[in-house]
Amino acid sequence: MSDTEEATYENIRRLNAFPHFPFRSTFVPGLAPPKIPDGEKVDFDDIHRKRMEKDLTELHTLIEAHFEKRKKEEEELIVLTDRIEKRRSERAEQMKIRAERERERQAKLAEEKARKEEEEAKKKADDDARKKMILSNLSFTGYKVMNLQAVQKTIFTDIQHDV
């Protein structure tokens, strides 16, 4: 095996040693292995240059994959923040509607309470006026033959029935 083949196998073993590494490149660049002439000197500069080119292309691939992943994550983050903002605005709108309904309900309850109090006051005023009229009629009918105790008894029973 030549040095370049060993270097290639070394790189493949190094990449396979980290299976959890997400950017394992299956792309093999189209670099020609350095030619080693028989009986002549081995050009280590050429081998080193080819290895550097290969490492550079691998680095470019990793950088490109990293930025693609980062771009995708940023897009997901934007979608998530938009969803959060939309949910926040929907929740604020729901709270606003709920508060408005609660105010309307409280206003109806207050109105109904005021109406009942007004009816009670009117009923009480009518009862008081009727009682005064009955008592004043009793004082003017002093010459009539009437049983005062019977009249008072009917007044009190009327009062008790109304309350």
What length is written for the chain? 163
The answer to whether the beta carbons of residues 47 and 34 sit under 8 Å apart is: yes
Burial 12-47 (b: 16+ CB within 10 A, else e): eeeeeeeeeeeeeeeeeeeeeebeeeeeeeeeeeeb
- Contact (CB, 8 A) for 72 and 80: no
Position 142, amino acid: G
The structural domains of the chain, with segments of one domain joined by +, span: 3-81
pLDDT, tens digit (0-9, with 9 covering 90-100), for 65-88: 999 999 999 999 999 999 999 999
Which stretches in the chain have pLDDT values below 50?
A: 143, 145
